Structure 1
């Protein structure tokens, strides 16, 4: 496609082109300030995001053996890394946006603004020069016109003098001399005007074919350069955004893989292995019929325990009291009531029977 030129086709539109470029620079500046605000928001968000996640990272402390084995606890701690990476991704995006897009865009704006300002200054200077040359030619023209009028007036007076019989020969000669002088002055101003007109035409031709052409070419150049640079930088902005999206996607994928390590069954086994004991839940509390107990049984803790367990009828002891007491204490442990004053009748849960867990016998 044939390239077209402002300087050729818009030679008479300098004022419009200057206003057009100033408007375009305003659009450029407006978009630049938008990117600055976006960059600031992203950096602040990324920094706050990362600091927020960091504040939730567990402080280093001695972990219990069970905590270090639970997949749930480990995964929740490890998942923070993905969130931290997301925050860092936003910070990196903001930094790269500043470095690769905003800074070059600002430099391009400053360069264009400088050229546009110089074009405006030169345009004003050239117009001032052209106006000054126009006034000089107009002054020369008026001088030439005045010389024509003076010559015409001298011609009229000379004609009258030559046809008037009452005018002396001296006066006729004077009129002729005046006419000759006016003709010479007219011819001189004519030559001066022709010379000044030629200079004006040359300078005006140079004004439009060179000065204005150069200025318009400068405006056209910065317009094309702006379009190219802005296109490249916004493409770079898009690439940086794609990089951010990839980082966020990678972090999300890593988070998903981390979360998949949560294993409730395995955690259940860990808890069982760490906390399972050799005890069973308490047996049903047997009914102790105190009305059928002899005083000897009530006074003998071992006999009373044997009666509760069904190993005695309450009237006679069929086993070694000390042995029975020791075995019961092994199963249930010594009751709080017994440890205080030895009175087992303070509670129905004698020796913890019916309340304390029962240890599985080997």
Structure 2
């Protein structure tokens, strides 16, 4: 059987009621599928919302951010981000199903219902028209049958009257005329019946051969369109979900990659770095001699001596004896060394100098604070430089603005910079104090420090002294936004700011202070000797060069221990920067040595170094 040529109009011409019921159930099924898609979209959206709520609930709090430095925690955090992206893909599925499937499906259902209703009304009209024709045919047929019977009756009456000799000719003629009249009426009724029969047959043939089949064909197309649309909607639903697979796959790959980045050794290192106190383990307990006589003699001597001392001295004496350990609980030994980690770390911000933390943790916190202050100083310096440039532009062209309008902002910026530098010096002093205490606790660090560390410490001390002795400038009128000029008056490139080298705002202003240079401090430590010739490093002859360096900016040496240089000058590198911002150099053609700012030069070490 050729399925392509099957038609409801020819095969199911007499199953109109069943076809009407079938198309109604088909549209109901389409609505049922639409309900499924709608609930699927709601589930996808709800699932995405729950995933996002889950990720939000497990996001690290601000107070727990320090715990998320470990690789396992970082992997978990990355996984939560990827799960959030997966939730986004489920939202995309819900949105696309709603826009490309559900809305089209609902529109199709409305159109199918309207089309079916229109076809059913058309079919009802055609069937009503056929019934009208059949009723007319029935009426004409009955009229013809009635006229035919009356004609036969009139014929019988005429024949009886004509055969009866007792009747007059008038009665016979009347019967004949009645017979002729009925005969004519019968012929007319027969003719009407024949015409109506022809019309009815023609309409019935057209009804079952063309009109009804056309209606059924349209119903067939409607049902086929419904079935074809369901097929398309299912495929579209799959395509909508399939589009998200690559992104979901990337999210899953990101989760696997984050899991592979978990490093238990690195986490162990971070735990040590985070919780290391810097204290040494407790020493061995001393042996207590239990000889009764010797103990009694020793105790009596201690007792007599303590009675002769003030109460405070007695306490100090007991602290130095073995018996002092008996007055403490054993747990106090570890508490006094390590402290309570919970209270120390949870209240680490309670003291500004972090003295409530162990040495290593205190140095770590102080260094973090110094880094934050350096960032703030850099930001504030950039703001001040911008204001200075704007002021210079206003001074050059008063039409652009009033230079005095920026004076207040420059003063505020100068005050903020001075405050930040004072805070920086304060934390540097605390850091040096922490380093000094750390050396007391660490046997390795208690040895003689290297010259480089001595120089670094002296620079820090000089910063503290120079800040109190030098006069700080708060007004922008004392500063210049133009680059420093060399002795011949030529302009050079603007050098970078060296924030930790002095208290003034310009890069070179801090270099003009004697307390800012390593050599001057070193000279003070050696008893006030001046110049590089008295430096202990020259005791055995000139230093061996480590490499060469090139001046990036011109530098005018106005402080003892520093040497000037011009832009592009080649120098010999004698000693690397030890963390104080200065580098020791020597000129190429003579033995003149001194210090220059590290940020002003570009170094190239020899391969042997």
Normalised by the shorter chain, which TM-score bucket? 0.7 to 0.9
Quote the residue 1:76 is aligned against. Answer: 76
**Aligned residue among 333, 341, 345 for 1:355:** 333
Q: Which segment drifts farther, 44-53 or 154-163?
A: 44-53
Report the counterpart of residue 156 of structure 2 in structure 1.
156
Match of 2:11 in 1: 9
Note the C-alpha offset of 1:166: 1.2
SS of 1:287 mapped into structure 2 = coil
* Mean CA deviation greater in 101-110 or 281-290: 281-290
Q: Secondary structure at the match of 2:165?
A: coil
The 10-residue stretch of structure 1 (263-272 or 245-254) with the greater mean CA deviation from structure 2: 245-254
Partner of 1:41: 43
CA RMSD, 1 decimal: 2.8
Is 1:291 matched up with 2:296? yes
Partner of 1:311: none
Residue 269 to residue 340, structure 1, CA distance change in 2 (3 Å): same
Which segments of 5 or more consecutive residues in structure 1 lack a partner in the other structure? 302-336
Residue 82 of structure 1 and its aligned partner are, at CA, apart by 0.8
Equivalence for 1:222: 222
CA pair 198-88 structure 1, distance change in 2 beyond 3 A? same
Change (3 A) 1:222 1:263: same
Q: In the aligned structure 1, how far is the partner of 2:297 from the partner of 2:242?
A: 89
Match of 2:252? 252
1:191 matches 2:273: no
- Corresponding residue for residue 143 of structure 2: 143
Secondary structure, counterpart of 1:280 in structure 2: coil
Q: What is the Cα deviation at residue 156 of structure 1?
A: 0.7
The one of the two structures with greater contact order (alpha-carbon pairs below 8 A, sep at least 6) is 1
Change (3 A) 1:342 1:165: farther
Instruction: Write out per-residue CA displacement over residues 68-122 of structure 1, whole angstroms, 9 at most, x where no aligned residue.
Output: 6422232222221111012112111111111111111111111111111112222
Paired position in structure 1 for 2:100 = 100
Q: CA 1:161–1:98 in structure 2 vs 1: closer, same or farther (change >3 Å)?
A: same
What per-residue deviation string (whole Å, max 9, x for no partner) do you get for residues 136-157 of structure 1? 2111111111000000101111
Asked if the contact 2:154/2:179 (under 8 Å) is kept, the reply is yes
1:161–1:171 CA contact under 8 A, matched in 2: yes
| 1: CA distance, partners of 2:65 / 2:47 | 33
Q: Which residue of the partner structure matches residue 87 of structure 1?
A: 87
**Does the CA-based 8 Å contact 2:27-2:226 persist in structure 1?**
no
Judged with a 3 Å threshold, the aligned counterparts in structure 2 of structure 1 residues 342 and 140 are, in CA distance, closer, same or farther, namely farther
Match of 1:29 among 26, 31, 35: 31
1:20 corresponds to which residue? 22
- 1:202 and 1:16 mapped to 2: Cα distance? 26
Change (3 A) 1:214 1:139: same
Contact 1:78-1:258 at 8 Å conserved across structures? yes
Q: How does 1:159-170 map to 2 (within 5 A)?
A: 159-170=159-170
For the structure 1 residues 361 and 142, does the alpha-carbon distance in structure 2 shift closer, same or farther, using more than 3 Å as the test?
same
Asked if the contact 2:8/2:216 (under 8 Å) is kept, the reply is yes
Q: Aligned partners of 1:60, 1:360: CA distance in 2, in Å? A: 34
- Check the 8 A contact 1:47/1:88 in 2, yes or no: no
Distance change in 2, residues 1:347/1:24 (3 Å): same
Structure 1 288/348 Cα, relative in aligned 2: closer, same or farther at 3 Å? farther
Distance 1:124 1:361, change over 3 A: same
For 1:127, the equivalent position in structure 2 comes to: 127
Q: Give the whole-Å Cα distance in 2 for the aligned partners of 1:146 and 1:340.
A: 149
Tell me the equivalent position of 1:319: none
Q: Which runs of 5+ in 2 are unaligned?
A: 290-294, 307-311, 338-439, 445-609
Separation in structure 2 between the aligned mates of residue 338 and residue 139 of structure 1, nearest angstrom = 144
Counterpart Cα distance in 2 of 1:92 and 1:109? 25
Q: Distance in 1 between matches of 2:64 and 2:30?
A: 58
- What displacement does 1:192 show? 1.0
Matched residue of 1:293: which SS? helix
Tell me the TM-score normalised to structure 1 length: 0.80
* Superposition deviation, residue 180 in structure 1: 0.6
2:381: which partner in 1? none
**Residue equivalent to 1:312:** none
TM-score by length of 2: 0.49
**CA 1:96 to 1:165, structure 2 compared with 1: closer, same or farther past 3 Å?**
same
Following the alignment from structure 1 to structure 2, what is the Cα–Cα distance between the partners of residues 229 and 174? 79
Q: How many angstroms apart in 1 are the aligned matches of 2:278 and 2:241?
A: 61
Contact between 2:97 and 2:240, CA under 8 Å: does it hold in 1?
yes
Distance 1:277 1:62, change over 3 A: closer
Q: CA deviation at 1:171?
A: 1.1
Q: 1:15 Cα shift?
A: 1.7
Instruction: Tell me the matched-pair count.
Output: 323
Q: What's the CA shift for 1:230? A: 1.2
Deviates more, 1:231-240 or 1:279-288: 279-288
Which secondary structure does the structure 1 equivalent of 2:265 belong to? helix
Equivalent in 45, 51, 54 of residue 52 of structure 1: 54
